[in-house]
């Protein structure tokens, strides 16, 4: 077989595998639905809320310090100290001078 024929065959095999997996999944869902109905439930009733919830995202902390010239730039006081805070402290200002 030529390389072109092998690649075409490989593509056909990948598609056949994907189709087979879809068919298996559909059969599994059908069997699960029938089993749920035999107990008087729908599959959606049984699976509702069974998925684990995504971890809650941390809410953003309110800013504690604000840039003196650009009030849009803030810092919460956590993490690495921004350059504008370090520069201000080096020039003799106090951290409280930047407080919101």
pLDDT in tens, 76-100: 998 899 999 999 999 999 999 889 8
Kindly state whether residue 16 falls inside one of the protein's structural domains.
yes
Beta carbons within 8 Å of 88's beta carbon, 6+ residues apart: 68, 97, 98
In whole angstroms, give the CA distance from residue 74 to residue 26: 53
In whole angstroms, give the CA distance from residue 43 to residue 34: 8
Q: Tell me, yes or no, whether 36 and 70 share the same domain.
A: no
Range of the domain at 83: 65-98
Kindly state whether residue 37 falls inside one of the protein's structural domains.
yes
Beta carbons within 8 Å of 81's beta carbon, 6+ residues apart: 75
pLDDT score for 48:
79
Kindly state whether residue 39 falls inside one of the protein's structural domains.
yes
Q: Count of domains in the chain?
A: 2
pLDDT score for 16:
96
pLDDT score for 43:
85
pLDDT score for 47:
81
In whole angstroms, give the CA distance from residue 48 to residue 41: 12
Kindly state whether residue 55 falls inside one of the protein's structural domains.
no
Low-confidence ranges of the chain (pLDDT < 70): 49-54
CA distances from 14 to 20, 24, 58, 75 (A): 10, 15, 42, 52
For residues 78 and 61, the answer to whether their CB atoms sit within 8 Å is yes
């Amino acid at each position: 077989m030529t390389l072109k024929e092998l690649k075409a065959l490989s593509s056909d095999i990948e598609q056949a595998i994907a189709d087979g997996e879809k068919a298996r999944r559909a059969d599994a869902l059908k069997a699960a639905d029938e089993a749920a109905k035999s107990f008087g439930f729908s599959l959606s009733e049984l699976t509702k809320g069974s998925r684990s919830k995504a971890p809650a995202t941390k809410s953003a902390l309110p800013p504690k310090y604000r840039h003196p010239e650009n009030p849009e730039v803030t810092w919460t006081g956590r993490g690495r100290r921004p350059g504008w805070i370090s520069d201000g402290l080096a020039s003799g200002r106090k951290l409280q001078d930047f407080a919101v």
